[in-house]
Amino acid sequence: MTEVLAADGRPLKASLNRALRRQKLRALALIAPLLIFILVSFVMPIADMLFRSVENDIVSDTLPRTVEALDAWDSASGETPDEAVFQALYTDMALATEYKSHTRLGSRLNYELTGVSSLFRKTGRRVKRFDTDVYADAFRDASPAYADAAQWAEWMDDDALRDALPRTADAYDGWAKMIVEVDNDVPAEEEPWDFVYTALYNDVMTGAEPPVAVDLSGVEPVSLREQFVEIDKDWLDPNVWQTIKIYSPKYTNGYFLNSVDLQKGPDGAEARPESERIYVVLFIRTMIMSLSIMGMCVLLGYPIAWLLANLPDRTSNLLMILVLLPFWTSLLVRTSAWKVLLQQQGVINDTLVWIGLVADGDRLQLINNQTGTIIAMTHILLPFMILPLYSVMKTIPPSYLRAAKSLGATDWTAFWRVYFPQSVPGIGAGCILVFILSIGYYITPELVGGTKGVFISNRIAYHISFSLNWGLAAALGSILLAVVLILYWVYDRIVGIDNVKLGG
Amino acid sequence: MAGLPPYASTGQRVWYYSFRVICGLIFFFLIAPILVIIPLSFNAQNFFTFTPEMLAFDPAGYSTKHYRDFFTDSDWQLALRNSLKIAPVATLLSVSLGTLAAIGLSQSHVPFRRAIMAVLISPMIVPLIISATGMYFFYSNPYIPIPFFGKVELPFTLTGTYWGVVLAHAALGIPFVIITVTATLVGFDQSLTRAAANMGAGPVTTFFRVQMPLILPGVVSGGLFAFITSFDEVVVVLFVGSAGQKTLPWQMFTGLREQISPTILAVATILITVSVALLFVLEILRRRSERLRGMSPG
């Protein structure tokens, strides 16, 4: 078979392939700007949030030496760690105080163990006034070289010396970095601080040779452990150390455990104390309230959709405006309307009192509780139920009902056995849409829900703006996102995202 | 429900009329809360309910003082200006990018069409609080992730800036543009662009002279959706914006949460008027689009 050639002499097949490839590239080139825009402005923020829900480098960043020293400590022993850990903590805390990162770490660990925040604050205030200045004095008295900043810098450039004095080198490096970053000074012009001398003392006491010989026999050793305990007895509490150790890895599932009312214990997840369990209840409440809103929407939306689908076009178009107007009205307008209507001195209660159904003394409590949230949100989400239901019902031929009736079915049987099953896809689509929308609602529950009628999203907002526990907010958000995405997938399967209709 | 047949039984009659009453009540539930706002906004008192003077239709019970408050109060005016500054720019961004992408998506051979569509629609599906959370974290410290290397932090912040809010709102508006424009393009006859090309028009000319006029109703209604999304949005702006970007819905939200002032009702009435106007424009566009579609073959 001879090969068919295109006008330019190439094989036709190759030429067509090239055209197809061109077409694909052209389509992608048109989509690319938007795709990049969405990826940067929307997808990356979401990915960042997911990452934050497991990220936990604050402990290992702020207390790197302590975390390392704690490796050797057995958290199950019920004992306080030994002096070596306190030495590491001293260096870490002295540096963290300068960076002012100890308060942030304190509030982070406070989510896990109440009281840590104040412990860190207190320690930060006093860690510079430890009795360790005796070491510095002893070294300086022994040789003026120890008080010479340039000499120190020279020593710390010498690799052999660094190997001999590991703790000193480490403390000096941390100090030098801090001097540059926080104070904007040159380390070679500043005399090292007490904690560097303390590290040097500890190195020497463990048998290392100091750069210039010193006699330290006259120096009374300072127990850092006691120094810390003097600030606060909590440093003796193994729970504090356990918390630091548990939260020292760079990644944690702690926030997720917290979002389902668990916490990290020394051996895996354990239940939180009764008084701190709120999230499971909140998730269940969010689910139940979303389901009731969904149910209310079906109940109220079905008759309306049926009426709209079966009335003559002129009338139904007019009535459709009554559905579309709320749909187009600002969410806050509708919420404020309900806030005004549902108040104890509001229009509904006034009317009820005027009719005489309710005594003036015991007006109904319709707002700042679950009733308020359910009423207002049903109203807000009702169009989202009516519109998909309507578009499905519009496709059901009315002759089916007539056929059923002429075959002897009663009105109810004809509806229930013939009409209803055909409208189920519409119910499904509307239900998923309403459920997805309601489960993540924030504004309306916040304004009319009081304390009992709020959703999980209100808790997320609380953690971001008030408690500043961002990791927990991110974990709660991730769980909510997972639920919504599963429902979205189901919706896509049933309805198809291409078939989403807006405003009829 | 094609009227009641003459042979209907009493039970059917009762059901027929009670069904209409039920539907009437549901319509009442839908529309009454919005309508009730309007007379209340003319209340002469600082109350949120009908005063006896209002019920007696006494002119003294009504006044436009809440409207005057709205137009003279600097907070509300700042909010209005911000809303009018943010929404059009966000709309312009989402419409221009969205229309291009929708045209790309409607071509016959698009690789990963489904996945791309899912990503582009996602801002509409993901709960606002989650978008807001993510944007709050990311915009305050934006970075470019590089696989196996880490991240390059960008030397600016978007949180609390005008462009941060515009960017966020544009992202939220895009799904609406995509959906309406792709829906319009389904009815678009691709042979028209081929005919234009055949007669020597370049792609740009074809787009502006042939394709654009035909899909314009879809683009405009997508734009209206994007506009109302931004104009009505409060969660994201609460997190991403700062006091300098306070928009109308934000001001209403804080007003409702803290000291609820009747000025909100006046603002609400103005916004209802705006949405009625929008609904009207959309309906005209829908009719025009149907007419245009009827004109083109296929």
pLDDT in tens, B135-163: 998 998 888 888 777 778 888 888 889 99
A172/A166 Cα distance (integer angstroms): 10
Q: How far is A368 from chain B (nearest CA, A)?
A: 11
A454/A316 Cα distance (integer angstroms): 36
Contacts of A457 in chain B (CB under 8 A): 127, 129-130
In this prediction, residue A504 has a pLDDT band, given cuts at 50, 70 and 90, of very low
Q: How far is A22 from chain B (nearest CA, A)?
A: 10
pLDDT in tens, B213-241: 888 888 988 898 899 889 989 999 999 99
Do the Cβ atoms of A48 and B36 come within 8 Å? no
In this prediction, residue B296 has a pLDDT band, given cuts at 50, 70 and 90, of very low
H-helix segments, A3-82: 12-38, 44-52, 58-62, 64-70
Task: Burial-class residue A179 by CB neighbours within 10 Å (0-12, 13-18, 19+).
Answer: buried
Q: How far is A484 from chain B (nearest CA, A)?
A: 7
Tokens of A141: 């008295």
* Residue among B20, B38, B46, B129 with most chain A CBs within 10 A, to mutate: B129
Whether the predicted pLDDT of B72 surpasses 60: yes
Q: How many residues does chain B have?
A: 298
Please give the average per-residue pLDDT across B238-264, as a whole number.
87
**Stretch 393-422 of chain A: residues touching chain B, C-beta under 8 Å:** 398, 411
Nearest to B120 among A20, A34, A300 (CB): A34
In this prediction, residue A373 has a pLDDT band, given cuts at 50, 70 and 90, of very high
pLDDT in tens, A135-190: 888 888 888 888 888 888 888 888 888 888 888 888 888 888 888 888 888 888 88
Do the Cβ atoms of B256 and A336 come within 8 Å? yes
Q: Closest-CA residue in chain B for A306?
A: B1
Contacts of A20 in chain B (CB under 8 A): 109
Please give the average per-residue pLDDT across A298-302, as a whole number.
95
Contacts of B121 in chain A (CB under 8 A): 497, 500
Size of interface A-B (CB pairs under 8 A): 267
Amino acid type, A124: G
Q: How far is A60 from chain B (nearest CA, A)?
A: 18
Q: How far is A74 from chain B (nearest CA, A)?
A: 33
Could you tell me the end-to-end alpha-carbon distance of chain A, in angstroms, rounded to an integer? 55
pLDDT of residue A483: 92
Q: Residues of chain A with pLDDT > 90: what percent?
A: 22
pLDDT of residue A498: 59
Q: Closest-CA residue in chain A for B278?
A: A328
Nearest to B116 among A31, A343, A501 (CB): A31
Pick the closest to residue B61 from B48, B35, B42, B37 (CA basis). Answer: B42
Domain-by-domain residue ranges, chain A?
A: 1-52, 61-128+225-252, 132-221, 279-499
Nearest to A303 among B23, B134, B138 (CB): B23
H-helix segments, A100-148: 102-110, 116-126, 133-142
In this prediction, residue A250 has a pLDDT band, given cuts at 50, 70 and 90, of confident
- In order of A23, A108, A430, B58, B202, the CA distances from B197 in angstroms are 15, 64, 43, 69, 6
In this prediction, residue A477 has a pLDDT band, given cuts at 50, 70 and 90, of very high
Contacts of B139 in chain A (CB under 8 A): 45
- Coil, strand or helix at A194: helix
A237/A79 Cα distance (integer angstroms): 8
Whether the predicted pLDDT of B123 surpasses 70: yes
Do the Cβ atoms of A335 and B256 come within 8 Å? yes
Contacts of B239 in chain A (CB under 8 A): 464-465
- Coil, strand or helix at A5: strand
For A279-499, CATH number?
A: 1.10.3720.10
Do the Cβ atoms of B98 and A34 come within 8 Å? yes
Domains and CATH numbers, chain B: 74-295 (1.10.3720.10)
Task: Give A315-319's long-range contacts (Cβ < 8 A, gap of 24+).
Answer: A319/B27
Please give the average per-residue pLDDT across A75-92, as a whole number.
84
pLDDT of residue A503: 43
The mean predicted confidence, pLDDT, of chain A is 86
* CA angle (A113, A119, A125) in 5-degree steps: 155
B206/A489 Cα distance (integer angstroms): 37
A145/B20 Cα distance (integer angstroms): 100
Whether the predicted pLDDT of A478 surpasses 90: yes
Pick the closest to residue B178 from A146, A154, A31, A4 (CA basis). Answer: A31
pLDDT of residue A189: 84
pLDDT of residue A344: 83
Please give the average per-residue pLDDT across A207-224, as a whole number.
80
Q: How far is B260 from chain A (nearest CA, A)?
A: 9
Whether the predicted pLDDT of A307 surpasses 90: yes
ipTM of the complex: 0.87
In this prediction, residue A500 has a pLDDT band, given cuts at 50, 70 and 90, of low
